[in-house]
Amino acid sequence: MATYYNITLDSNIPHGSDILDKPCRVVFSYPDGSFSYAYTGTVFAWPTANTVRIKSATLNIEAAWVGANGGTLTIQTGGGLAYRITGFVKM
């Protein structure tokens, strides 16, 4: 069963970026610079310049956000774009 999230990013995605219906990865970086498991999902909507909606069968942002323990949460979208996640809402 898929989980759906609205994800707020730290900056706007450039107009014309090809990210919809593409795979994405959410990666958690710890304060020491190491990385956790990369969760995969799909960006299926882009409602505002700095918000995307994703769905994933494996993603649990709530647990990973707490697990990052002061680290950062980053979404890597198609085309090599990467954005720090500043907030999320499970739908």
**Given pLDDT bands bounded at 50, 70 and 90, which one contains residue 82?**
confident
Distance CA 82, CA 74 (A): 7
Chain centroid, CA 44 distance in Å: 12
**Given pLDDT bands bounded at 50, 70 and 90, which one contains residue 79?**
low
Over residues 6-44, the pLDDT tens digits come to 988 889 988 888 888 888 888 877 777 777 767 888 888
Task: Provide the residue ranges of all domains of the chain, joining segments of one domain with +.
Answer: 3-90
Percent of the chain scoring above 70 in pLDDT:
87
Largest pairwise CA distance in the chain: 35
Distance CA 11, CA 22 (A): 19
Mean pLDDT estimate for the chain: 81
**Given pLDDT bands bounded at 50, 70 and 90, which one contains residue 60?**
confident
Within a 10 A sphere around the Cβ of 27, how many other Cβ atoms? 19
Strands of the chain (E only): list them.
3-9, 22-29, 39-48, 51-56, 72-76, 82-90
